[in-house]
């Protein structure tokens, strides 16, 4: 009996050591072989992912697919004509039944004005031109390619529409947990702390309001795009070139032509959320 137990414990111990140690040993011995490029199999293995990247080269991004709607905002135009921005904001409020709460802490924001240093904290420098940093910047949902809010949402109430890249909200699903507000690096989401209806000045009969306890944000005017119209803020600035709207994945679109021509920046690029709203400053 004793003898059997000794034998069993020995085998069990050896198995545990082998089980834990084997993967590490395989990894240690396998890596140098791959690194030195020995054998055709190893080289073929390396080449495969590069081909999948659609010829972008290096360890670049995947080739963009489908439509990714985006916006180029020319802050120079807004600085010249501040009333343009007010018109854009007013149109958005009217079109989307946005409540205007008296307390700024309760503010519901789709497109709004913010200090330049707040919108571009990573781009503010010590001695920047007053005409740029002294004027308010336009802020709205960036409809990121890698939206942090979507990752945070526990109910998939907010999601990225793969057909056009719009980060959409399904208010029917929102449970008001506000994780997305914490996740959004741009403060583009607002919570309805009160029933918004009394604070809506005029109703647009073709768009719903929201209710107390849901989060809301810019939807890139999905409902207007479906009717073949441009987003309301774009339409409000029509003819001035202050806001250009289009498909970022189409090299011939207006937004891409503008981005090819001018120097543009995105908000908080270091986060890696890949905003679809670009700014010319």
Partner 1 sequence: MYNKGTIIPGLIIFVLFVTFPIWFNGLTTAGDLPKPELPPGGEKKCVESADYMRASHMQLLNKWRDNVLRDGNREILEIDGKKYPKGLQTACMNCHSQKEKFCDSCHTYAAVEPYCWDCHLTPKETASKEAIH
Q: Is 209 in the site for partner 1 (CB under 8 A)?
A: yes
- Closest to partner 1 by CB, 35 or 227: 227
Q: Which is nearer to partner 1, 38 or 229 (CB)?
A: 229
What is d(CA 92, CA 187) in angstroms, rounded to the nearest whole number? 17
Alpha-carbon distance of 76 to 101, in angstroms, equals 30
Binding mask 59-98 for partner 1 (x = CB under 8 A): -----------------------------------xx-x-
Q: Which stretches within 99-141 are classed as H helix?
A: 116-119, 130-133
CA distances to 8, 10, 13, 147 from 3, rounded to whole Å, are 9, 11, 16, 63
**CA separation, residue 215 to residues 38, 64, 145, 223 (Å):** 56, 30, 20, 18
| Residue count, binding to partner 1 (CB under 8 A) | 28
Q: Which is nearer to partner 1, 49 or 198 (CB)?
A: 198
Whose Cβ is closer to partner 1: residue 8's or residue 203's?
203
149 to 168: interface string for partner 1, x by CB under 8 A: ----------x-x-xx---x
Distances (CA, A) of 222 to 36, 127, 225, 270: 52, 40, 5, 28
Residue 254: exposure state from Cβ atoms within 10 A (0-12, 13-18, ≥19) = middle
Taking the complex as a whole, the smallest distance from the CB of residue 67 to partner 1 amounts, in Å, to 10
Q: What part of residues 179-208 is at the interface with partner 1 (CB under 8 A)?
A: 197, 200-208
What is the nearest approach in angstroms of partner 1 to the Cβ of residue 187? 23
Q: Judged by CB, which is closer to partner 1: 151, or 201? A: 201
Structure-token match 């449970």, residue found: 175
Q: Does 228 bind partner 1 (CB under 8 A)?
A: no
Q: Least distance to partner 1 from the beta carbon of 249, Å?
A: 16
CA distances from 26 to 43, 110, 198 (A): 19, 54, 68
Q: Are 155 and 172 in contact (CB under 8 A)?
A: no
Closest contact distance (angstroms) between CB of 157 and partner 1 is: 10
**Shortest reach from residue 259's CB to partner 1, in Å:** 25
Rounded least distance, CB 170 to partner 1, Å: 5
Which of 269, 32, 241, 33 lies closest to 142 in space, CA to CA?
269
- In the complex with partner 1, the residue whose CB is nearer, 131 or 201, is 201
The yes or no reply on residue 170 touching partner 1 (CB under 8 A) is yes
* Interacting residues with partner 1 (CB under 8 A): 94-95, 97, 159, 161, 163-164, 168, 170-172, 197, 200-211, 222-223, 226-227
């Amino acid at each position: 009996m004793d003898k059997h137990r000794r034998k069993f414990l020995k085998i069990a111990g050896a198995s545990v050591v082998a089980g834990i140690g084997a993967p590490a040993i395989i990894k240690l011995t396998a890596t140098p072989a791959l690194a030195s490029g020995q054998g055709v199999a190893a080289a073929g293995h390396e080449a495969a992912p590069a081909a999948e990247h659609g010829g972008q080269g290096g360890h670049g991004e995947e080739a963009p697919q489908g439509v990714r709607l985006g916006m180029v905002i020319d802050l120079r135009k807004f600085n010249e004509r501040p009333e343009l921005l007010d018109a854009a904001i007013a149109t958005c409020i009217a079109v989307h039944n946005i409540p205007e709460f008296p307390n700024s802490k309760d503010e519901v924001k789709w497109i709004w004005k913010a200090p330049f240093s707040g919108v571009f904290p990573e781009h503010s420098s010590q001695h920047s031109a007053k005409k740029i940093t002294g004027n308010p910047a336009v802020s709205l949902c960036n409809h990121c390619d890698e939206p942090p809010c979507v990752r945070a949402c526990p109910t998939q109430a907010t999601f990225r529409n793969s057909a056009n890249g719009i980060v959409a909200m399904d208010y029917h699903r929102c449970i008001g947990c506000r994780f997305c507000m914490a996740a959004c690096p741009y403060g583009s989401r607002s919570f309805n702390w009160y029933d918004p209806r009394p604070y809506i000045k005029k109703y647009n009969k073709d768009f719903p309001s929201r209710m107390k306890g849901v989060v809301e944000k810019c939807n890139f005017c999905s409902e207007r795009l479906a009717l073949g119209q441009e987003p309301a803020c774009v339409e409000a600035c029509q003819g001035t070139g202050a806001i250009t709207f289009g498909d970022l994945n189409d090299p011939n679109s207006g937004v891409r032509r503008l981005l090819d021509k001018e120097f543009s920046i995105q908000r908080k690029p270091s986060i890696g959320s890949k905003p679809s709203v670009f700014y010319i400053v």
